[in-house]
Structure 1
Amino acid sequence: MSTITTTDGITLFYKDWGPREAQPIMFHHGWPLSADDWDAQMLFFLGEGYRVIAHDRRGHGRSSQTDTGNEMDSYAADVAALAAHLDLKNAVHIGHSTGGGEVAHYVARATPGRVAKAVLIGAVPPVMVKSEANPGGLPIEVFDGFRAALAADRAQFFLDVPSGPFYGFNRPGTPLIEGVVRNWWRQGMMGGAKAHYDCIKAFSETDFTEDLKAIDVPVLVLHGEDDQIVPIDDSARIAITLLKHGTIKTYPGFPHGMATTHADVINADLLAFIRG
């Protein structure tokens, strides 16, 4: 397996496919998944001639099952370490959900020349949790419920989420795809329970407002209008107002996991943005 070791001793797993001289595209997965969640995009863009990279966030997948550092500063520092190790230049960073927060936090701090463009797909920025400053957010009790369900029976919780709201399989007329549910469960159960527990706070309470304002490269915001995990009105539709060079595209009826359920549509729009 391809890995690097961070300055605090964490082993990070990554995939790096394609010509080393080609423009790199780095993918950042959502909670509680792994680099494998990007299979449909990795294979597509590899076929288009790009260099494609995806890592397992610390505590997730095949990376170290950390009990510390499960927050956005460390996540972004890990990305910076991997980008430096691979000497990525002019890269496109694409993040889904929690990975979108990771992208925003990293790109806002990236070394000049490392990043060409960024994409946020069903992403958590600017901030998910409800507060006086964010009255449209989700109540903290929602995320407390996530933590309680994870601690009580992580394996069952990791079946309930993909079987229901994540891919919209709870919507009338939407057939459940067994393989998609099982793959979500497989990826989730590879990671560490402590890291997954801590990451709920990271994705729900981190405020990315200043990150979005600081990003100085083109950013594409993609969001499903039927996203039940990261509601569009308190995420994408606010995030686009904070970006200097942002473009937004929304999809009626598409769920949170649309990069899997509607990969053909999402991949085409990603390719147009990257080439544009």
Structure 2
Amino acid sequence: MDMNGRTALVTGASRGMGRAIARRLAADGALVAVHYGRDGDAARDTVSAIEKAGGEAFAVRAEFGVDGDVDTLLAGLTEGLRGRALDVLVNNAACGDLDTLFAGSVERLTPRQFDEVFAVNVKAPLFLVQAVLPLLRDGGRVINISSAAARIAVPSQIAYAMSKGALEVMSRTLAGALGPRGITVNTVRPGATDTGINGFLDDPAVRAGMSAATALGRIGRPADIADAVAFLASDEARWITGGVIEANGGLWLGPQEQPPG
């Protein structure tokens, strides 16, 4: 994918899928703004890896879920772009509190946990889009990272799943609103993927079960998600908007048939 001369902002790009997305877009030629919330060392490592590979990147800090988060990010982004327009926005950052994500059943979920998840996973992406609209060029791209939890009922993740469902509705709505400017808005929906947040995959039994429930027979890798994002960011995806790309290897398509014999 040719991204030479273009710019991209990837939120939550200091690790996991975000880092892979940032590195892929940079490898395709984009100048990438590597957003992070707290781990500056990890963000600098991402920037360093991009530069060592011959790409261009800069880090920008803003902790989502606090007052002024989007304004802080916009200021750092504008400074790093140095007068250039923004071509691609990837809303990847998500609430990383494991206690919130995996202990949030309806019986145990607290208002604090709910507010935290929606502040990071829904409010920040929406108002970030609003803030960057003056910078985003006509014909640009907005790509939102959802989750299989928006499609498959996981009782322990009710707030997280609800937030990702809201993100997908936001994508469709924005696709209609921004279409007159030629801006496409799409969602990538990963399945079980090897990232730091998915520590439950360290359990061999869980890993084997998730692999068996995936048509392609393995756990996803961050690069698998990054490649889907790179396609949506490219000119080749110019006629795709308001859609959801299932980048999950065929997770939970249905009962797996046993081979004969």
Task: Give the TM-score range, shorter chain.
Answer: 0.3 to 0.5
Larger Rg: 2
With normalisation by structure 2, the TM-score equals 0.43
